[in-house]
Amino acid sequence: MSSKDLSIIIVDDLQFSRIVVKTALKKAGYNGVRMADCATEALKMIEQQPADVVLADWMMPEMDGLELTQHIRQTDEEKGTYTAIILFTAHDGVEYLVKAFDHGVDDYLCKPPNPQELAARVNAAARIAALQNDLLETSRQLQKTIQNLEKMALVDELTGAGNQSFLIKNLKAHLQEASARRGGVCLALVELRELEDIGAKHGEFIINEILISQHRRLRRAIRPTDIIARLENNIFGIIMHHTKTKDYKPSAIERIVTMINNRAYKTSVGNLSINGCIGVHYYRGDQAIISADEMIKQAGSKLDQARGNASLSIAY
């Protein structure tokens, strides 16, 4: 960052001291200099436009330089930024230096400052601020990347539904809640019977078209609060949570079958009629809690029953 781009705030209750420091900085090429006659005004300035470097007198009425430093560090923490802080003082001695650093001050200059030393210290402080802000921005970008990767790890790339990890994660949470509150959880595994034959005849592209349509149909057939995920091949899992077990109605499952069977799937090779079958397992919260894996196993067993009987659409 060039000296022209640097944002600097000088804080001192003595006008003469402010002007002396500003004049020295302007001679050194620093143009973005603002002046405040108290810490409160400086904080308002920072709120309006962040500063790269704050030069403040240690001893000021109402709020001294150390208190100002604490406020700036709090603001930095909230906004995810870093402001370099240099304090001016007439005090001399190691104990004051240690005290300043303990309070988060970056540098310390005795009054009156030597103009060349002042310019050099401001330049060093600006490098510290730039480095810290670059690190904070890198950290933010890494966090975004991690969040995106975590999201991708729970989403089926083809359909946009959740994947098996997503279903298991949510199933565990719903089972725990149902057990604690005596509610109920329904897991329905949905499969399209003829999809394998269609794939053999028309190829993977047509299968993918049907699976995308299947996800859309299932989404419309269930409640907004229900969870849907693609487990493997053409099997979708649906989690329905009920606050009270009496709220569970088989008609909700029948509606899904109707949505699948009553209308052909539009594809690039024409409209294809496909039948669905569903395996359902229902957990009641007044029973001993079971694992998500066991819940999937039980629903899978029911799906096997429905799959093996051409006249059976739903197995409970």
For residues 284 and 172, state if they share a domain. yes
Which tokens belong to 308? 């093996």
The residues, ordered by sequence, that sit 6+ positions from 209 with a Cβ below 8 Å of its Cβ are 265, 267, 268
Peptide bond into 112 cis (omega under 30): yes
For residues 232 and 310, state if they share a domain. yes
Q: Which domain holds residue 73?
A: 8-147
- At 240 the pLDDT is 96
- At 210 the pLDDT is 96
Q: Is 301 helix (H, G, I), strand (E, B) or coil?
A: helix
Q: Is 74 helix (H, G, I), strand (E, B) or coil?
A: helix
CATH number of the domain enclosing 295: 3.30.70.270
For residues 143 and 227, state if they share a domain. no
**Closest by alpha carbon to 276, among 239, 302, 314?**
314
Whether residue 155 is contained in a domain is answered as: no
- At 173 the pLDDT is 95
For residues 106 and 24, state if they share a domain. yes
CATH number of the domain enclosing 101: 3.40.50.2300
Whether residue 200 is contained in a domain is answered as: yes
For residues 272 and 232, state if they share a domain. yes
Whether residue 50 is contained in a domain is answered as: yes
Whether residue 133 is contained in a domain is answered as: yes
For residues 90 and 174, state if they share a domain. no
> In tens digits, what is the pLDDT along the chain, a chain of 316 residues?
555 678 999 999 999 999 999 999 999 999 899 999 999 999 999 999 999 999 999 999 889 999 999 999 999 988 989 999 999 987 777 787 888 888 889 998 988 889 999 999 999 999 999 999 898 888 888 888 777 766 668 889 899 999 999 999 999 999 999 999 999 999 999 999 999 999 999 999 999 999 999 999 999 999 999 999 999 889 999 999 999 988 888 899 999 999 999 899 999 999 999 999 999 999 999 999 999 999 999 999 999 999 999 889 999 9
- At 87 the pLDDT is 93
For residues 143 and 175, state if they share a domain. no
Indicate the number of domains in the chain.
Answer: 2
- At 106 the pLDDT is 92
For residues 191 and 136, state if they share a domain. no
Residue ending a domain, choose from 147, 177, 208: 147
- At 102 the pLDDT is 86
For residues 125 and 215, state if they share a domain. no
**pTM greater than the 0.85 cutoff:** no
